[in-house]
Structure 1
Amino acid sequence: MKRKSPVQNMVLTALFAALTAVLSQIMIPIGPVPFNLGVFAVYLAGTLLTPGNAAASMAVYWMLGALGLPVFAGFQGGPAALFGKTGGYVLGYLFIALFTSLAVHFSRSTGIILLAMAAGLACCYGFGTLWFMHLTGLDLSKALTLCVAPFVLPDAAKAAG
């Protein structure tokens, strides 16, 4: 496989950060964590980019949001959005992108890739839920009911998509 130039890598990284921002706006507001297609973009980044570029695309996405650009779900941006109640899930996108990309680049087994996608999503859920609990004072059961249970099947469908 031909190596991509540094410029191609930067363009792909920026493209997937932008795609994540755009798909994050396609949402259905249910509960405290909106259901959106941002996770689908993260799975795509992990599937199509190298591990380093997949992680970098999520870092660019975070930085754009932290600087105030309205890239997070509901056209939110700024440090308050990134570090608010749902910020842990956005930061958890890194796990999905990285685990998926590592599996795609080091295994051709569909089962291994799907397992890596599930592991990345589980880490994202874990990180985001702990973050949510810390900021809201809710217990684990209530946080999982509000922030994870409604999203397991839709997020699994995004991985299969």
Structure 2
Amino acid sequence: MNNNNSKLRGLIICGIFAAITAILAQIEIPLPIVPISGQTFAVGLTATIIGSRYGAIAMVCYALLGGVGMPVFAGFKGGVQVLIGPTGGYIIGFILAAYVTGLILEKTKFTLPMAMIANTIGMIITLIFGATQLKIVLGMTWGQALVTGIYPFVVVGLIKAFLASWLGITVRRRLVQAKLIDQTNKRVA
């Protein structure tokens, strides 16, 4: 397969995972300021399956789609006001979280224990970005930002990290066996 076809396939895969993130974002448990949603599960799943580079590109696509007004964020929201609003830090954090999660797996092994570690670190990155923006936008103290933007999400975040790890490793193995992605994530097969 020539390089242009490989790049096109990579972009299509990124688009698919941006769409999966948009769909999972609509699964939510409302909380006063920041809902619990399927977005973070989607970020971990994406990075575990397609790795750092494509995972981060998929999250950039997702953020851009929402930023231009497509209703892809939790609660069918979209627009730049979401990205600069109280919960926008989480969405921006998805990009780095996907990259770091995928990178850890690429530098170690795509196994369930390593995926759990990588996804937990990704979750922490997302929560730090989210709490930081909550603090800035809402004028909270660090204590208030932790209570509002991190503490309620730790236990459910660990559950989502485990599920993203387990499902991601399972799907990834099948995609590698089918030669749809390569083992190194250097290219889309």
Identity %: 34
Q: Distance in 2 between matches of 1:50 and 1:146?
A: 30
Q: Which residue of 1 aligns with 2:117?
A: 115
Q: Which residue of 1 aligns with 2:159?
A: 157
8 Å contact 2:29–2:36 — kept in the other structure? yes
Q: Which residue of 2 aligns with 1:11?
A: 12
8 Å contact 1:29–1:35 — kept in the other structure? yes
8 Å contact 2:123–2:161 — kept in the other structure? no
Q: Secondary structure at the match of 1:5?
A: helix
Structure possessing the higher radius of gyration over alpha carbons: 2
Q: Distance in 2 between matches of 1:23 and 1:111?
A: 24
Name the CA shift for 1:60/1:86 in 2 (closer, same or farther; >3 Å). Answer: same
- Offset of residue 110 of structure 1: 4.3
Q: Secondary structure at the match of 1:69?
A: coil
1:54-76 C-alpha deviation (Å, 9 max, x unpaired): 11000000110111000111111
Structure 1, unpaired ranges of 5+ = none
- Offset of residue 95 of structure 1: 2.4
Q: Distance in 2 between matches of 1:114 and 1:160?
A: 6
8 Å contact 1:70–1:76 — kept in the other structure? yes
The alignment yields a C-alpha RMSD, in angstroms, of 1.6
Q: Secondary structure at the match of 2:76?
A: coil
Equivalent pairs counted in the alignment come to 159
- Written as runs of structure 1 = structure 2, the 5 A alignment for 1:73-152 is 73-108=74-109, 110-152=112-154
Q: Distance in 2 between matches of 1:5 and 1:41?
A: 24
User: For residue 99 of structure 1, what is the amino acid of its counterpart?
Assistant: V
User: For residue 69 of structure 2, what is the amino acid of its counterpart?
Assistant: G
Structure 2, unpaired ranges of 5+ = 164-189
TM-score (norm 1): 0.92
Q: Distance in 2 between matches of 1:55 and 1:73?
A: 19
Q: Distance in 2 between matches of 1:67 and 1:95?
A: 20
Structure 1 segments (4+ residues) deviating >3 Å:
109-113
Q: Which residue of 1 aligns with 2:59?
A: 58
8 Å contact 1:31–1:147 — kept in the other structure? no
Q: Distance in 1 between matches of 2:75 and 2:160?
A: 19
User: For residue 47 of structure 1, what is the amino acid of its counterpart?
Assistant: T
Q: Distance in 1 between matches of 2:148 and 2:130?
A: 12
